[in-house]
Structure formats: C-alpha cells, structure tokens
Amino acid sequence: MNSNLAKQVRKSSVSDTANRDIGDPAQPPREKAAGDRDLRAVIGIEEVTLKSRKAKRMQEKLLKSAAIVFSRKGYTATCIADITASAGVAHGSFYRYFEHKDGVLQELLVGLYEELAQATRDASTVGDDDTPPTESRLREFNLRFFHEYADRRGLLRVAREAAASSVDGRFRDIWFLMRGRFIDRTKKLIQRMQSHGMAVGLDAELTAEALGSTSEQMAYVLVGLPESAPDKNRLKAIGLACHEVWRRTLFPAASGELRESSHDL
C-alpha cells in the first residue's frame, strides 16, 4: 500500500463504536510476520477486554450471528434486528457491545484480516529469500488462494460491498489494507525473482497489481457471487486457470517453450 493511502487510513475517522469492539477472547494472540500491519493500530481501534465470561459469550454469540446474517443478506440489507433475532437475544442487548451494525462488521473484518494473514502467510512466501521461486510453489499458492477465499467467501463479499458503499471511508480503508498485504507480497516476490535474473523487464509494483486484480476478480465473480460455493474440483480448475496467467507472466521462457512444443505437435 502506498504512503498516501497509509496516511489516509491513519486519518480515517473512527466512531465511539470502535472503543466497544473486542477481539475473540477464546483465541490466543496471533503472531504477526514482519511487515504485517496491525489493522487495529492503523485504523485506531482499541481492543477492549471483557472480564465477565457471560459478557464474552454474548459478544461472541452476536459476532457469529452477525457473520451469518451479513453473509446471507449483505451489508446494506442487514439490520440490527436481523442480528439479534438470529442470535436469539433481546434487541437492546446488542447496544451493550456495539453502537450500530458498522461496529460489529468492523470487528468481524478485523478478525478476517488476521485470519487471512495467518492462512496465507506460508504460501505467499513461495520459498525462502535465498532461493528463486519455482513454478510448482507458485501453483500451490494460487490453488490455496481460492480455497481460502471459498472458506470465507461470505464475509469477503460483504467486505467488498461495504467498501464500495462506505460513507466515511472506514470500510474502504480496511479493504485496501486487506488486499494491500497480498499485493505487497506479490511485489516482493517479483523483486526476489528479479534478483535471481527472472521476471526481467517487469514493473514489480504494477505487475503485482495486475496479477492481484486478476486473482481478486476471479475469486469474487466465480467463488464469492454464486449462490453456493464451488466444489473442490471447480475451485481447482479456477485456481489452475488463474495460475496460468501468473505463470505466463512470471515465467515467460517456460511458456515460450510450451508454445513451441505444441506447435511442433
């Protein structure tokens, strides 16, 4: 993410709701890899600890119900009454934990951001810094990306909707931070390839944006929007098709050899 966007995110206004937002008390703190942004720190959310077990259970119940309702109805169509009805609690109980529905969605997206960081961290490195990336590791990463997206497709779809309709820009900032990590890691991958004499002549930043946008749009249209999630075979086919775009971009020599072999046949 560029410096201008980082400054914009830091200036993003945060309502009193943020001070009520809470992390999952049942989950241990997640380790952050070097370079991973702390979303709470960037957008100015303080993590509040609830002391009562009953309060923690209620807050978790509301979050789980909100995730289900948002995934089913979308950001705009969801109202607080939907969330409390799904949770089976009184309408007024909601306001002990969140100011309005933006607060609960914000908390869900913070959790999603951290989940995706953990889920994709190993795959996104595509090898260590001392060895050039291989096509097989890149293939593994692309296949894994679509499976991870499918597991969280409801909230990822809502995150995109909220980003587009956000009045104060808060959800747009969260969205840019979520995708920014992916783009930044891809850029570093390309730069590492270039240090090994590969991916010659590519603009690392713009190529990362192009490849990332390809993956993002394929995931949104083919995985996020359908009424039901694609099965494993379909996810694999989508991942392989996306991988072919990446492969032909980052390993053009191998693609050229493949085309020549096909022509000879």
For the chain, what percent of residues have pLDDT higher than 70?
72
How confident is the model at residue 41, as a pLDDT? 61
pLDDT one-digit tens code per residue, 66-125: 999 999 999 999 999 999 999 999 999 899 888 889 989 988 998 888 887 777 665 545
How confident is the model at residue 36, as a pLDDT? 54
How confident is the model at residue 20, as a pLDDT? 32
Q: Write out the residue range of the structural domain in which residue 214 sits.
A: 3-264
How confident is the model at residue 258, as a pLDDT? 40
**Nearest of 240, 123, 130 to residue 186 by alpha carbon:** 123
How confident is the model at residue 207, as a pLDDT? 97
> Which of the listed ranges 48-52, 102-106, 205-209 does the model predict with the highest average pLDDT?
205-209
Q: Which long-range contacts (CB under 8 A, 24 or more apart) does 253-260 make?
A: 254/135
Mean pLDDT across the stretch 118-134?
A: 63
CATH number at residue 162: 1.10.357.10
pTM listed for this prediction: 0.74
Report how far apart, in Å, the C-alpha atoms of 45 and of each of 17, 107, 109, 110, 201 are: 9, 9, 12, 10, 41
The Cα angle at residue 4 between residues 115 and 126, in degrees rounded to 5: 40
Structure tokens at 219: 């995931």
Mean pLDDT across the stretch 238-262?
A: 76
pLDDT-derived band at 254 (thresholds 50, 70, 90) equals: low
pLDDT of residue 14 exceeding 60, the answer is no
When divided into structural domains, the chain yields a total of 1
How confident is the model at residue 100, as a pLDDT? 87
How confident is the model at residue 85, as a pLDDT? 96
